[in-house]
Amino acid sequence: MIVEAAGEVFDEVGYTAASTTEILARSGVTRGALYFHFPSKEAIADAVVAYQTDILVPRPGKVRLQAVIDLTMEYAERLRHDPVLRGAVRLSVEQAAYRKPDSTPYEGLREVVLGLLREARGAGELLPGVDEEEIARLLVGAFTGIQLLSQAATNRADLLPRISVLWRYLLPALAVPGLLTHLDTSPRVRPGATVAEPQGG
Amino acid sequence: MIVEAAGEVFDEVGYTAASTTEILARSGVTRGALYFHFPSKEAIADAVVAYQTDILVPRPGKVRLQAVIDLTMEYAERLRHDPVLRGAVRLSVEQAAYRKPDSTPYEGLREVVLGLLREARGAGELLPGVDEEEIARLLVGAFTGIQLLSQAATNRADLLPRISVLWRYLLPALAVPGLLTHLDTSPRVRPGATVAEPQGG
């Protein structure tokens, strides 16, 4: 409840302007309970940042490159509707407002993507010469910027089409030719979610 | 002088924590002169944001796709060494701290890239089916996120290699085959700058 309330507040006003009093009021917990779990506003922010990785649960089965594509589409859709995830992303992008910036907020995302890409490599889906580490880093970086520009331009209404464009132009350098024409990059969420449902309300 | 001083301060502490007193002290101008040019901190920030487009001056000649690649490399290198540009980028990414976010900070960059891509199309450098508008938006978005992650991971020390990776994996979907092998995506700045020199000191 604390993380949910805090995510909303961070999403709306950013770290600096967020007050623990407001977070308390929205979460409905007592001040004692809040400080028991989180000794500082920074600790609350770290928990909200971790949320963006916690919700990523890749599923087994199907083509692994398709699983990566689907994961980005579901994450994009979730970003449009989940204020806690938006708060996590805002804190990640505006890290300097509350901590010395480092890669921590992006590491969990990168590792999930890297794991799927290694499975894709094992399944013979990737072209020779493709470096899974490079692609994982590239995808997390490109996604982060694309969602920022989509937020600025349309409040993320066009985020899925923008992610679809990324895939259309990247895949020819990644996928073996026989697979390429079978991958679905259309801007929509597929059944078989790889992103977990919101926890709580 | 005001824009330079303000860019540095915004780079270091962000919009919210930046004080006009500090900007005044660094710029060496009088308070009267500052308010004559900029009625508010927001107006100063807008001028700093505009700086990132002002320095982009594409040059004629050579292969146009190479010109786009070179532009991103030079911009990346400049970002590593020019605190005013870093301030502009930080304000763009953290827009919500000072204004209602919109595409304005990214529009100038997008238009310069789009112009070069249209020239590339005219010169027969692009594959059929490549949409210049999509690619211009994609490049600005991907670059924005990649530099954010590079900043978090290495204080932008690995920014040029990361941009090189972006190009290596994007170009097969963009360039005609005869051109592809001739494009240089190595992570370095080429002679024939397309980014203007720092103004002033």
> Tens digit of pLDDT for each residue in B10-66?
999 999 999 999 999 999 999 999 999 999 999 999 999 999 988 887 777 789 999
CB B68 within 8 A of CB B118: no
Alpha carbon of A188: minimum distance to chain B alpha carbons (Å)? 18
Nearest by CB: B14 against A97, A103, A147: A97
Q: Is the pLDDT of residue A159 over 90?
A: yes
Q: Which fold has domain A55-180?
A: Tetracycline Repressor; domain 2 (1.10.357)
Q: What is the pLDDT of residue A200?
A: 44
Enumerate the residues of chain A whose CB falls inside 8 A of the CB of residue B101.
151-152
Kindly list the domain boundaries of chain B, sorted by start residue. 55-180
Cα–Cα dist B201/B198, whole Å: 7
Q: Where are the alpha helices (DSSP H) in A29-174?
A: 31-37, 41-54, 64-81, 83-93, 104-122, 132-154, 159-170
In this predicted structure, which of A57-71, A113-127, B102-116 has the lowest mean pLDDT? A57-71
Nearest by CB: B102 against A94, A147, A152: A152
Q: Is the pLDDT of residue A57 over 50?
A: yes
Alpha carbon of A101: minimum distance to chain B alpha carbons (Å)? 5
Q: What is the pLDDT of residue B194?
A: 59
Q: What is the pLDDT of residue B190?
A: 81
Q: Rounded mean pLDDT of A90-112?
A: 91
Q: What is the pLDDT of residue A99?
A: 86
Q: Kindly state the DSSP code that residue B96 receives in the 8-state scheme.
A: G
Look-up of token digits 């910027």: A145
Alpha carbon of B23: minimum distance to chain A alpha carbons (Å)? 19
Residue A49 vs residues A4, A90, B51: alpha-carbon distances, Å: 11, 9, 31
Enumerate the residues of chain A whose CB falls inside 8 A of the CB of residue B15.
none
> Of B59, B40, B51, B38, whose CA–CA distance to B11 is shortest?
B51
Q: How many CA atoms lie within 13 A of B173 on its CB side?
A: 24
Cα–Cα dist A92/A87, whole Å: 9
Q: Is the pLDDT of residue A26 over 80?
A: yes
What rounded mean pLDDT belongs to chain B?
92
Give Cβ neighbours of residue A191 (< 8 Å, ≥ 6 apart): none
Do residue B149 and residue A173 have CB atoms under 8 angstroms apart?
A: no
| Reported confidence tier of residue A192, pLDDT bands at 50, 70, 90 | low
Q: Rounded mean pLDDT of A134-141?
A: 98
CB B19 within 8 A of CB B6: no
Enumerate the residues of chain B whose CB falls inside 8 A of the CB of residue A130.
169
Do residue B146 and residue A141 have CB atoms under 8 angstroms apart?
A: yes
